[in-house]
Structure 1
Amino acid sequence: MKILLVDGTIVGRKTGAVLEQVKMYIQEFRPEMELDILSLADYDHQFVDGRPLGEYNDSMQDLAHRFNEADGYIIASPIFQGSIPGVLKNTFDLLHPHTMRYKPVSIVANGGTYQHHLVIENQLKPILDYFRCLVTPNYVYTHTSHFDIDNNIINEDVHDRLRELARVFVQYAEMSTHLSKETLDKH
């Protein structure tokens, strides 16, 4: 099972640090899962404007292909100005509506204020619901104070919540393998 761990920004290190930790915890529960970190910073982004996928550059086509080939996702996003980064939203806009359907997704996010956790509920979850993902009920929001100067997570409660997120994600991933994909092939 291929799981894409998406670093949904092109700046900063905290989001990537959280993903690395989640990756370690998933490996503890299910070492045979193929875990691949995808950093949006590694792509040559174009604004998505509704044209066919084949008209975007190779980098954007590769990005869409990697999403399409994955069996599940961990979406990591910083919160900027009370919102997800534009580059992450642009990536979602690139994807076909069936790309993530019935695939498991967990969310981790980080921000500078404790109130920004609501962005997950008000922005990310509705987008993922549109894609009909199997969104795990537990997400983890981290605050700047949860990291040391080298972006290591120093808060034990955060570690506990990330372990639990990984455990639940693995269960959702196993459940997703039993869902019929037949209806997808007809549409």
Structure 2
Amino acid sequence: MNILLVDGTIVGSKTGAVLEQVQAYIEEYGPSLKLELLSLSDYDHEFVDGRPLEAYNEDMQALASRFEQADGYIIASPIFQGSIPGVLKNTFDLLHPRTMRYKPVSIVANGGTYQHHLVIENQLKPILDYFRCLVTPNYVYTHTSHFGEGNEIIEDDVLNRLRELARVFVQYAEMSQKLSKETIDNP
């Protein structure tokens, strides 16, 4: 299985640091999974406005292709101004509604205030529900205070929650392989 670890921002490094830790834990629990990091900062983004995919630049087409080819996702997002970054929402807007259907997804996020964890519940989960993803129930939100110099995670509780997220994600990935991707309806 090909799992995409999505760094959902084009600025900062804490989100990437969280993804690296999750990657290490997933490698422990699911060594057969092929993990690929996708950093949105590596792409030349265009605003998604409803054009057919082939009307966008090569980077946008490659981005959509990487999502389509993946069998599961770890979505990592900083929280800016009480919301996910526009570049991450723009990426979701690019994808066909069936791209992520019945594929496992775990969420990690980070922000500067403790209250912003609600962005996961109020923004990310509804988007992923629209795609009909298999969203694991245990997302992890990190706060600026959970990081030391060099952006290493210094909070044991956060490390334990990330380990548990990885364990559950691997089980969801295994379960998803047995789930038929065929649909009865056409949406």
TM-score normalised to the size of structure 1? 0.98
**Partner SS, residue 149 of structure 2:** coil
- Determine if contact 1:2/1:33 at 8 Å carries over to the other structure: yes
CA distance in 1, matches of 2:151, 2:100: 30
Q: Match of 2:107?
A: 107
Aligned residues: 187
5 Å-filtered alignment, 1:118-129, equals 118-129=118-129
In the alignment, the residues of structure 1 paired with residue 186 and residue 109 of structure 2 have an alpha-carbon distance, to the nearest angstrom, of 35
Distance (Å, rounded) in 2 between the aligned partners of 1:51 and 1:186: 21
Root-mean-square deviation (CA), in Å? 1.2
- CA shift, 1:149, in A, is 1.8
Please identify runs of 4+ aligned residues in structure 1 that moved more than 6 A.
Answer: 184-187
Task: Give the TM-score, by structure 2 length.
Answer: 0.98
User: Percent identity at matched positions?
Assistant: 81
SS at match of 2:158: helix
Q: Which residue identity is paired with 2:104?
A: P
- 1:181 deviates by 1.6
Amino acid corresponding to residue 34 of structure 1 in structure 2: K
Identify the residue that residue 90 of structure 1 maps to in structure 2. 90
Q: What is the alpha-carbon distance in structure 2 between the residues aligned to residue 149 and residue 26 of structure 1?
A: 24
Structure 2 residue aligned with 1:6: 6
Deviations 1:115-134 (A, max 9, x none): 00000000000000000000
Residue 98 of structure 1 contacts residue 184 of structure 1 at CA under 8 Å; is this kept in 2?
no
The answer to whether the 8 A contact 2:111-2:142 is kept is: yes
Does the 8 Å contact 2:101/2:181 carry over to 1? no
Structure 1 CA distance for aligned equivalents of residues 184 and 147 of structure 2: 42
Distance across 1 between alignment mates of 2:146 and 2:180: 40
Structure-to-structure mapping, 1:14-163, within 5 angstroms: 14-163=14-163
Within 2, Cα distance between the matches of 1:182 and 1:166? 27
